[in-house]
Amino acid sequence: MNLPIPYGRQHITDDDVASVNDVLRSPYLTQGPKIGELENAFAQYIGSTYAIAVANGTAALHLCCLALGVGPGTRVITTPITFSASANCVRYCGGEVYFADIDPETALLDPKAVRELLESHPKGFFSGLIPVDFAGYPVDLIAFRELADEFGLWLLEDACHAPGASFTTNDQTYRSGDSSLADLAIFSFHPVKHIAAGEGGMITTNDEELYKHLLRLRTHGITNKSDEFTEPYSGEPERGGWYMELQELGYNYRLTDIQAALALSQLNRADSMLSRRQELAARYDAAFSEAASAGLPIQIIVPPANVSHAYHLYVIQTPERKALYDFLRAKNILVQVHYIPVHLMPYYRQFGWEPGDFPNAEQYYAGCLSLPLFPALTNEEQDYVIDTVKTFLIGLP
- Region of 317 (left: φ > 0; alpha: ψ -120 to 50; beta: rest) is beta
User: What pLDDT does residue 306 have?
Assistant: 97
User: What pLDDT does residue 304 have?
Assistant: 96
Whether omega before 339 lies within 30 degrees of 0, making that bond cis, reads yes
User: What pLDDT does residue 95 have?
Assistant: 98
What pTM, to 2 d.p., does this model score? 0.97
User: What pLDDT does residue 2 have?
Assistant: 86
Q: What letter would DSSP give residue 232? A: P
Residues 140/103, Cβ–Cβ less than 8 Å: no
Supply the residues annotated as catalytic: 193
pLDDT in tens, the chain (397 residues): 889 999 999 999 999 999 999 999 999 998 899 999 999 999 999 999 999 999 999 999 999 999 999 999 999 999 999 999 999 999 999 999 999 999 999 999 999 999 999 999 999 999 999 999 999 999 999 999 999 999 999 999 999 999 999 999 999 999 999 999 999 999 999 999 999 999 999 999 999 999 999 999 999 999 999 999 999 999 999 999 999 999 999 999 999 999 999 999 999 999 999 999 999 999 999 999 999 999 999 999 999 999 999 999 999 999 999 999 999 999 999 999 999 999 999 999 999 999 999 999 999 999 999 999 999 999 999 999 999 999 999 999 8
**Domain limits, the chain:** 5-267, 270-394
Cα separations (Å) of 293 from 200, 281, 344, 348, 363? 42, 18, 33, 39, 21
Radius of gyration of the chain (CA): 22
Q: What angle do CA 80, 355, 361 make, to 5 degrees?
A: 35
270-394 — its CATH code? 3.90.1150.10
- The class of domain 5-267 in CATH terms is alpha beta
Residues 65/253, Cβ–Cβ less than 8 Å: no
User: What pLDDT does residue 1 have?
Assistant: 81
307-308 β-sheet, strand order: 172-175, 166-169, 307-308
CA 281 – CA 24 distance, rounded (Å): 37
